[in-house]
Structure 1
Amino acid sequence: MDCIKLAHGGGGSKMQNLINDIFVRNFGNEILNAMEDAAKLSGNLAFTTDSFTVKPIFFPGGDIGRLAVCGTVNDLSMRGAKPLYMSSAFIIEEGFPMEELDRIAASMAEALKEANIIIVTGDTKVVEKGSVDKIFINTAGIGVIADGIDISIKNAKPGDMVIVSGNIGDHGMAVMMAREEFDFKGKILSDIAPLNNLVKDILALGGDIRVLRDPTRGGVSETLYEIANMSGVGVEIYEEKLPVASGVKGMCDILGLDYLHLANEGKLIAVVKRESADKAVELMKKNKYGENAAVIGEINDSGLVTIKTAYGTSRILDRPSGELLPRIC
């Protein structure tokens, strides 16, 4: 009998197969089948949901509470929506320290204030010890999309440019360092951040912003494959243009990992009309969460996802398939 494995939650090809073979087959409809980070409903409403099981719940640069708020805000923002309201449901293990719960709630409150969004409903469940690992959080979010904004994973066109808003792989490596306790002297912090204001800044370019996506589980690599598949295009990125912190790159070299597969929680991938790419980067760099923004590639009609190496050769970009790091978000 086939069973669920950790890889089915890893954000790569196995997870995509699970979604298609089980959930889309049973629940499929026009809205769900669009496979967007947030569903666009009537009245220009955007709606999303997410669950957070990160381990450990506190890590350099963040915690499960800030992650829950920012993850929800960012999914709404990737449709060009202004986030307005959230729900938050907590599943808590019996014996969980009250002080840690309060710390998580305070962190959420700080992120809510920064993103200018409010929690308007919620739920709490406590289960017997061992039935859940400390605390899990489920959220939903509602936002509104302004008239004239049409951002979709299906909108990429050959000739468009691919932009990333900053250094990649920080969150995945920060959680890995916190969990595995490697003897590493550098300080790698998660990049968790609400990106709604960054998105608001670049929406000044209107319809020239084709696609927005946050490269969480599966990293930049998986996100590029999703864009290629849903838009029916190819993507080529340039290895030398990829912004990566030296500490993250160094640890990837030591551990044999690919930073393009590492999760990010405060970065976005934008596909932008070629003529507006430089302006989009300029606008991003004015925001503290876009200071290291860069054009990293372009859309073509090959149907392939490739990377041009520092040596001038191109190869197929590996797509995540197994589970690099369970419970990364």
Structure 2
Amino acid sequence: MSVDEKRRGRERTGPVVREEQVLEKIEAFRRRRPRLLEDVVTMAHGAGGKASAALVDAVFLEAFRNKELERRCDGAVLPLPSGESLAFSTDSFVVHPLRFPGGSIGHLAIHGTVNDLAVMGARPAWISAAFVIEEGFPIEQLRAIAADMAEAAKAADVEVVTGDTKVVSAGAADGLYITTAGVGLIPPGRELSGDRVRPGDRVLLSGTMGDHGAAVMLARGDLGIEGEIKSDTAPVNGLVEALLTAAPSTRWLRDPTRGGVGTVCNELAMETGLGVVLDEASLPVSPQVNGVCELLGIDPIYVANEGKVLAVVAPEETDAALAAMREHPLGRDAVVIGEITDRLSATVAVRTAFGGTRIVDMLVGDPLPRIC
């Protein structure tokens, strides 16, 4: 073969090699965790999307790196000598306003931790509560919020067994911040993990998207919008137990809070390396929430809930899972919203009503700050 023939051969094959390299780079980019580029913390770092993931990875995971943190779950799973496992989770609540249609910061403080434990497969049992209270905060309001917490704990069948109180000077805490931590027991043999998710599995959602985020935004009164939207804040541990009894092969669970269903599905895709394909026509949104989101220019798929469950179940258990969820008061509107596929890698896509598809990326920025 002459030199010219070799050169022409390289020219013919060169573009193919370069295209493969480009595809590999695109794939690597999709799998890459977000990087922390800012020099200071911004509100976006609390939104539960890309900026939050970058902050956690670059600062906290880097400082405290261990096996449990590497899982990036809602809490830690710690084995016990009895064969059971202990689930341990913590969360802080800075919602503004402190009271909104459907609940208060007190309800959120209990529900948030109970729900994080429940979607880990645990049966929540004990809660700790720490309060940062601003000087001048009315005692009657504090008493009312404590009563809300007691009410929520009773409904979730958990006890607040320890806590702490700090008071800061006026203007330093926006009234009241609450941090709760909780523990619960995971029965032997119960395992929920992205490692168990398989192509063909179905994605279920227990009800409508965005109720909590929309309710809090309207309660602030800054938008000049009136509407009858209540937060869905509620303890989902009973719903989860009903689901796991009916569908014991359930693969994976999450509660779609900050960043909504879209962000949680992206976390699922990154954890498994598989694709999540959602059906736009099946995504449940109330007309009121949809109207608020249209006015604000926000996709409801990114708006938070505080009383919903996102589940990945085996195809053969889908009907049983749906039936069990719909029999529970918190799962009456449960629906299959999508499926897992190996035709996409670590990507979330939505099939539109027009027959096309669109990519749903992780939330960028903070469209709804201070909602939990």
Tell me whether the two structures share a fold, i.e. TM-score over 0.5: yes
Give TM-score scaled by structure 2 length. Answer: 0.87
Structure 2: gaps of 5 or more residues: 1-37
Per-residue deviation at 1:322? 0.2
Residue equivalent to 2:244 = 203
- 2:355 matches 1:312: yes
SS of match in other structure, 1:296: strand
Distance, in Å, in 1 between the alignment partners of 2:224 and 2:63 is 47
CA distance in 1, matches of 2:235, 2:248: 22
Residues 36, 153 of structure 1: 8 Å contact kept: no
Larger radius of gyration: 2
Q: Is 2:45 the counterpart of 1:2?
A: no
- Please say if residues 214 and 289 of structure 2, whose CA atoms lie closer than 8 Å, have aligned partners that are also in contact: yes
Name the residue aligned to 1:54.
95
Equivalent residue number for residue 18 of structure 1:
55
Question: Which 5+ residue runs of structure 1 have no aligned equivalent?
Answer: none
Corresponding residue for 1:322? 365
CA distance in 2, matches of 1:259, 1:168: 6
In structure 2, the residue matched to 1:27 is: 64
Q: Which residue of 1 aligns with 2:228?
A: 187
Which range moves more in the overlay, 319-328 or 61-70? 319-328
What does residue 106 of structure 2 align with? Answer: 65
Distance in 2 of aligned mates of 1:31 and 1:155:
17
Give the Å deviation of 1:56.
Answer: 0.5
Contact 1:48–1:142 (Cα < 8 Å) also in 2: yes
Distance 1:93 1:141 in 2: 24
The alpha carbon displacement at 1:164 in A equals: 0.4
Map residues 23-172 of structure 1 onto 2, 5 A cutoff: 23-43=60-80, 44-172=85-213
Query: What SS does the aligned partner of 1:191 have?
Result: coil
Q: Give the letter aligned to residue 316 of structure 1.
A: I
Partner of 2:19: none
Contact kept, 8 Å, 2:202 with 2:312, in 1: the verdict is yes
Helix, strand or coil at the partner of 1:228: helix
Query: Is the 8 Å Cα contact of residues 152 and 211 (structure 1) preserved in structure 2?
Result: yes
Residue from 326, 330, 340 that aligns with 1:299: 340
CA shift in 2, pair 1:206/1:147, >3 Å: farther
Deviation at 1:277, TM superposition (A): 1.2
Whether 1:280 and 2:335 are equivalent positions in the alignment is no
1:141-163 Cα distance to aligned partner (Å, 9 max, x none): 00000111101244321110000
Per-residue CA distance 1:34-70 (angstroms, 9 max, x = gap): 1111210021100000000001100011100000000
Are the counterparts in 2 of residues 153 and 212 from structure 1 also a CA contact under 8 Å?
no
Quick one: distance in 2 between partners of 1:254 and 1:168?
A: 16
| The 10-residue stretch of structure 1 (282-291 or 314-323) with the greater mean CA deviation from structure 2 | 314-323
* Contact map agreement 1:154 1:231 (CA 8 A) in 2: yes
What CA deviation, in whole Å up to 9, does each residue of 1:167-192 have, x standing for no partner? 11000000010113444443000000
- Contact 1:150–1:207 (CA<8 Å) still a contact in 2? no
- 2:235 paired with 1:235: no
When structure 1 is superposed on structure 2, of 250-259 and 83-92 the one drifting more is: 250-259
The question of whether the paired residues in 2 share the 8 Å contact of 1:78 and 1:213 is answered with yes
Name the CA distance, whole Å, in 2 between partners of 1:191 and 1:162.
20
CA RMSD of aligned residues (A): 1.1
Output the amino acid matched with 2:168.
Answer: V
User: Following the alignment from structure 1 to structure 2, what is the Cα–Cα distance between the partners of residues 96 and 254?
Assistant: 34
Contact 1:38/1:78 (CA < 8 Å) preserved in 2?
Answer: no
Q: 1:246-261, aligned counterparts within 5 Å?
A: 246-261=287-302
Alpha-carbon separation, structure 1, partners of 2:243 and 2:361: 30
TM-score (norm 1): 0.98
Q: Tell which deviates more after alignment, 29-38 or 65-74.
A: 29-38
In the TM superposition, what is the alpha-carbon distance from 1:272 to its structure 2 partner?
0.4
- Per-residue Cα deviation, 1:185-242 (whole angstroms, up to 9, x for no partner): 4300000000000001011145421000011000000000000001111100001001
1:217–1:154 Cα change, 3 Å: farther
Output the amino acid matched with 2:287: S
2:304 to 254, 263, 284: 263
CA distance in 2 between partners of 1:277 and 1:36 (Å): 24
Give the distance between the partners of 1:118 and 1:82, measured in 2 at CA.
12
CA contact (8 A) 1:153 1:213 kept: no
- Kindly indicate whether the alpha-carbon contact (under 8 Å) linking 1:149 and 1:206 is maintained by their aligned counterparts in 2: no
Please list every run of at least 4 consecutive aligned residues from structure 1 whose deviation after the TM superposition is greater than 6 angstroms. none
CA distance, structure 1, for counterparts of residue 195 and residue 170 of structure 2: 44
